[in-house]
Amino acid sequence: MADEPLELGEISLSNWHAHMDKMTEVGFLPIARRLPSLVRHAMSLAWRASPRDTLATIVLNLLGGVFTAFGLLATTGALTALFQDGPTPDRVRAALPSLVLVAAAAALRTAVQAGAGWAQSRLEPQITRQTEERLFGLTSRVELVSYDDPEFHDSLQRARTRGVAMADSVVSSAVDVVTAAVGIAAVAGVLGVLHPVLLPLLLLAVLPDAWAAVRSARMRYSTLNALIPAMRRKWIIAELLAERDPAAEVRSFTMRDFLLRMYDAVARAEQEVMLRLARRQTIARLVGEALGGLGSGLVYVALGILLAVGAIPLAVAGTAVLAIRSGATSLASLLHSTNRLYEDGLYFTDFLDFCADAERRLGEPRPTTPPERFERISVVDAAFTYPGADAPALRGVSLEIKRGEVIAFVGENGSGKTTLAKILAGLYEADSGTVLWDDVDLREVSPEAIRERTAVIAQDHTRWPLTARYNITMGTGKGEPALHAAASVAGAHEVIAELPHGYRTLLDRRFKDGHELSGGQWQRIAVARGFHRDADLLICDEPTAALDARAEHALFERIRGHSDGRTVLLITHRLASVRYADRIYVLDHGKIIEQGDHDTLMALDGLYADLYTLQSSAYR
């Protein structure tokens, strides 16, 4: 119904500002204290990306500050000559050497600043590439169970959406901070030489802007941080409305209006928050600019008083005006860059925090290697609980698998079959208990080494947007004979032979010349992928879900033929397919409650017999 209240789950307005207190207490001094750390992080990142461009950027910016100071001092000489008594032509001639120095300093400063800008622009793409590679290098290495942790998802979202994007901005802002600081140091040095009382005037004109900039950044970060769950939910709904995979069900179940209502509810709430943010930021900027104007007026009043009492000569006052304006520009740039560095640094810190958390999830290196060809796999009293779950998915599971056996896991949905298979494949690690390949404890073995000797044919396999060849080989490069052998055994060769470019056909219609397969054809590609790996342990998790009866029968015959000398673990709800297994384990609520071959389990007249009888009766 159109007026039915929407259940938005984690997205509720009362929770949107749960993190507001993280930023509301941050003032200018905490920002200033954190600045050296941010600059150090940024320079370290830039140095790793390109030492040459980093060094060039820093050196050229320092030279720019030197030429700024030199130009201001030369300006004092020129003004002194121009303000002397005597004929104007004589005063101009006396000022010419200083004017030449002013022009030379300006030209050199422009040249070195252009060089610094060029070096900095070279840095940015290198930093982006390095940051992205670090992020995806970690996301592809963390244990699979991390993706079952909602906190990991939120942290990853922050790191991907803003953290990576802010890496080059943090470096750019840090360079701007250093550049502005050098400019201020140059101006301060000149003002100190001219008259010490001129230094406080430099601060008076721009401090109000600092307050406004810091407050605006604080508002923006706290708001966007609080909106991350909402933005993620909106993105998910947008994918449902715009992606190809759900398009058929969106139409067949007439979900368009419902999804648009849900999208509108989240988008409107997000819009209200952003509008309030814009109003608050505008007020802060107006107050800052008003106070800044008042400060500038006080600066000129103070200069007038100094001239009136004869504390400084007119030439010095003229230079001071130019220096204060130059310093005000540099100080404004410093405050803007500091503000931007702090704000971008908060997002970049999300990236650093995610990387640190991901690296902790990697665990310590495990030098032990699994046996070349195991004789048995033993699981002893294994238990496993998903992050945030109330009940364990596995509890006290023990089993044994011998090399060359065909083993089946049977049970109703949620019984723990797939979880146990993932533990055997090295995708999950048991919370307690022991998993052994022969006498080698898998806790002492790199999960990567286990995965290299295991192949998984999953029901929810990935439809890779790659060519048919790469969808089978996954980049292993074993050669044409291995590719064609795996495709033929899996029944995928006939499917690929009908494609317009054979094994070079791109299997994704979103790209030019891309081709799409049916569910059953994709299933055969997935089976070929598993066979091509030629692993010691082959795990088949509902491998026939998308196949018709004839193709299903043929596939199980192929699996039995392919299992010669290999160990096969079969997970399926179609019990007729497992009756020839050497041993069947029946799971219920995370425990093994029955085990044996088909005849033994039928004689037990337990859960397996009930399930088998129910299925077989449907065919009578």
Q: How many CB atoms lie within 10 A of CB 331?
A: 24
The architecture (CATH level 2) of 13-362 comes to Up-down Bundle (1.20)
pLDDT digits (tens, 9 = 90+) for 302-350: 767 777 777 777 766 677 777 777 776 777 677 777 777 777 777 888 8
Helix/strand/coil for 587: strand
pLDDT at 585: 93
Candidates 135, 152, 131; CA nearest to 355 is: 135
Q: Please tell me the least confidently modeled range out of 213-222, 274-283, 385-394, 533-542.
A: 213-222
Cα dihedral sign for 557, 559, 561, 565?
negative
CATH of 460-534, one of 3.50.50.60, 3.10.100.10, 2.30.42.10, 3.40.50.300: 3.40.50.300
User: With 60 as the cut, is the pLDDT of residue 545 above it?
Assistant: yes
Q: Which of 141-145, 211-215, 370-374, 608-612 has the highest mean pLDDT?
A: 608-612
Banded model confidence at residue 584, pLDDT cuts 50, 70, 90: very high
User: With 90 as the cut, is the pLDDT of residue 70 above it?
Assistant: no
Distance CA 391, CA 399 (A): 21
Banded model confidence at residue 25, pLDDT cuts 50, 70, 90: very low
User: With 80 as the cut, is the pLDDT of residue 541 above it?
Assistant: yes
Q: What is the DSSP-derived secondary structure letter of residue 159?
A: I
The two structure tokens encoding residue 37: 């750390």
pLDDT at 11: 44
Q: Please tell me the least confidently modeled range out of 213-227, 502-516, 606-620.
A: 213-227
Burial string for 491-522 (b: 16+ CB within 10 Å, else e) reads bbbebbeebeeebebbbbeeeeeebebeebbb
Q: Where in the chain is the domain with CATH 3.40.50.300?
A: 460-534
pLDDT at 380: 92
Banded model confidence at residue 15, pLDDT cuts 50, 70, 90: very low
For 359-420, the three-class secondary structure string (H helix, E strand, C coil) is HHHHCCCCEECCCCCCCEEEEEEEEECCCCCCCCCEEEEEEEEECCCEEEEECCCCCCHHHH
Helix/strand/coil for 585: strand
Bridge partner residues of 569 (DSSP): 407, 539
Q: What is the mean pLDDT of residues 584-607?
A: 91
Q: Please tell me the least confidently modeled range out of 187-201, 251-265, 372-386.
A: 187-201
Distance CA 348, CA 306 (A): 47
H or E segment to which residue 594 belongs: strand 591-596
Q: Considering the chain, what is the average pLDDT of its residues?
A: 80
Q: Please tell me the least confidently modeled range out of 26-30, 75-79, 198-202, 513-517.
A: 26-30
Q: Where in the chain is the domain with CATH 1.20.1560.10?
A: 13-362
Which carries the bigger pLDDT value, residue 590 or residue 228? 590
Q: What is the mean pLDDT of residues 23-35?
A: 59
Residues 6 or more apart whose Cβ sits within 8 Å of residue 441:
434, 435
Candidates 332, 306, 309, 331; CA nearest to 319 is: 306
pLDDT at 10: 47
Q: What is the mean pLDDT of residues 24-39?
A: 65
pLDDT at 82: 59
Which carries the bigger pLDDT value, residue 515 or residue 224? 515
pLDDT digits (tens, 9 = 90+) for 452-482: 888 888 877 888 888 899 999 887 878 888 8
Angle subtended by helix axes 256-308 and 207-226, to nearest 10: 170
The strands making up 591-596's β-sheet, listed across from edge to edge, are 454-458, 537-541, 567-571, 406-410, 583-588, 591-596
Quickly list DSSP for 506-574. B--TTSTT-----HHHHHHHHHHHHHHH--SEEEEESTTTT--HHHHHHHHHHHHHHTTTSEEEEE-S-
Express as a percent the part of the chain with pLDDT over 70: 83
Q: Please tell me the least confidently modeled range out of 340-354, 405-419, 439-453, 501-515.
A: 340-354
pLDDT digits (tens, 9 = 90+) for 481-502: 888 988 888 888 889 999 888 9
CB of 392 closer than 8 Å to CB of 587: no
User: With 60 as the cut, is the pLDDT of residue 105 above it?
Assistant: yes
pLDDT at 14: 33
Residues 6 or more apart whose Cβ sits within 8 Å of residue 167:
45, 127, 128, 131, 348, 351
User: With 70 as the cut, is the pLDDT of residue 562 above it?
Assistant: no
Q: What is the mean pLDDT of residues 346-367?
A: 83
